[in-house]
Structure 1
């Protein structure tokens, strides 16, 4: 979300840029000319890459594909825990640890091979079918595009290369440089400073309500890809755009 894909470290400034308040329009309205973002910032996992490709592995190891959803929820939860408690580990390390937690909770003994297959599978996730054409349309329209992800720099570079998406992004920004995870506001502030942009010039595109919420709290515009009918957080302001898939997202941005 991400093109020099090897230059992936966001530089954390000592003092983040001032958070500018952004007038968020209702999701049903197209972006007005005054609110057209200068840079589109894409989340990666689930937003662009299809995590469901791992479901057969979880079916094989845990006896149920639903274990994938349990694991990813644990991963997000403990990523935030290690960041909040200043005990940061990279996303892959937390992912492996929470995979072991899930297995322990179900009385399953994971082999090293099982763990490696799942973790390596994350690096080879396919793009959602709507991604390539949508990115082509947005690039042709002249948008600058970068990614902002909780994954490590090496991991996200590998993911985008394997998915055939790397060439669409001028840069990939990882949280590793500041040892915080989205939706910590410091992540969005650091990314804005790194890009030399005002928060109001950035639009996050994500399939996670918590990511969209964090970006808006940092003064960014935001667009929610409601894949599989996922809901928004009711206590948050509505993002600029809500679309069921990336084609709908591109349609709204290109109006």
Structure 2
């Protein structure tokens, strides 16, 4: 963890969405629905992320749902129809929230901290998720990589998201379960809170986060202590 006492007081929070707030594990059932093994979900999702990163770095970013569709064709060697692919990809908007997500959001709300979403996911699925959870009363902004034409972990995207909250980047924290995302935020001059629910270990190749915890509530408490 970064040296907390020297960090500025928290002014705003940006949540990563997919895997941080959204539990995508139930999506495995949709693979079964189309006659594919549920174990295919992980390599498919990783391929989609990798290809999306590569396209963005090449200067031609593509919406993440399109990258997911292409990755499905590759991973299944063309064995699925467009309708079957859409059945899987559309499921993102129907995924549930992780149990620790709402308590963390409420903790920030109680402290009067403005919050937004910063995601590489599609806007439609993200807004469906936001409305279904009822968090639209807490979350004031949704910033997507596709809308801005720049992909995480490019510094510009973190800056755009911080500006959308009206909070200086140095006082805005990115909260995520992905160490690379927290690293990107730190390199862009933001604060970062990492939850170890997914990866367990924060690699020493990454810039340390300002707050770490086993769940999002612990991360929230750590970030709220900054600057005290």
SS class of match (1:25): coil
- Please give the alpha-carbon distance, in whole angstroms, between the structure 2 residues aligned to 1:63 and 1:190: 39
User: TM-score, with normalisation over the residues of structure 1?
Assistant: 0.80
**Residue number in structure 2 paired with 1:85:** 58
SS class of match (2:79): coil
Greater mean deviation of Cα atoms: 91-100 or 190-199? 190-199
SS class of match (1:172): strand
Do structure 1's residue 52 and structure 2's residue 49 form an aligned pair? no
Tell me if structure 1 keeps the 8 A contact 2:90–2:125: no
**Residue number in structure 1 paired with 2:99:** 129
Q: State the aligned residue count.
A: 225
- Please give the alpha-carbon distance, in whole angstroms, between the structure 2 residues aligned to 1:35 and 1:141: 16
**Residue number in structure 2 paired with 1:25:** 2
- Please give the alpha-carbon distance, in whole angstroms, between the structure 2 residues aligned to 1:52 and 1:69: 10
Q: Which aligned runs of 4 or more in structure 1 are off by greater than 6 angstroms? A: none
Unpaired stretches in structure 2, ≥5 consecutive residues: none
- Please give the alpha-carbon distance, in whole angstroms, between the structure 2 residues aligned to 1:137 and 1:37: 13
Q: 1:228 and 1:186, CA in 2 relative to 1: closer, same or farther beyond 3 A?
A: closer
Matches within 5 A, 1:65-80: 65-80=38-53
Task: Find the partner of 1:209 among 179, 183, 204.
Answer: 179
CA RMSD of aligned residues (A): 2.1
Task: Find the partner of 1:38 among 8, 11, 17.
Answer: 11
Q: 1:42 and 1:116, CA in 2 relative to 1: closer, same or farther beyond 3 A?
A: same
Greater mean deviation of Cα atoms: 243-252 or 43-52? 243-252
- Please give the alpha-carbon distance, in whole angstroms, between the structure 1 residues aligned to 2:57 and 2:198: 30
SS class of match (2:76): helix
**Residue number in structure 2 paired with 1:118:** 88
- Please give the alpha-carbon distance, in whole angstroms, between the structure 2 residues aligned to 1:174 and 1:113: 25
By percentage of residues, which structure has more helix? 2
Tell me if structure 2 keeps the 8 A contact 1:145–1:168: yes
Unpaired stretches in structure 1, ≥5 consecutive residues: 1-23
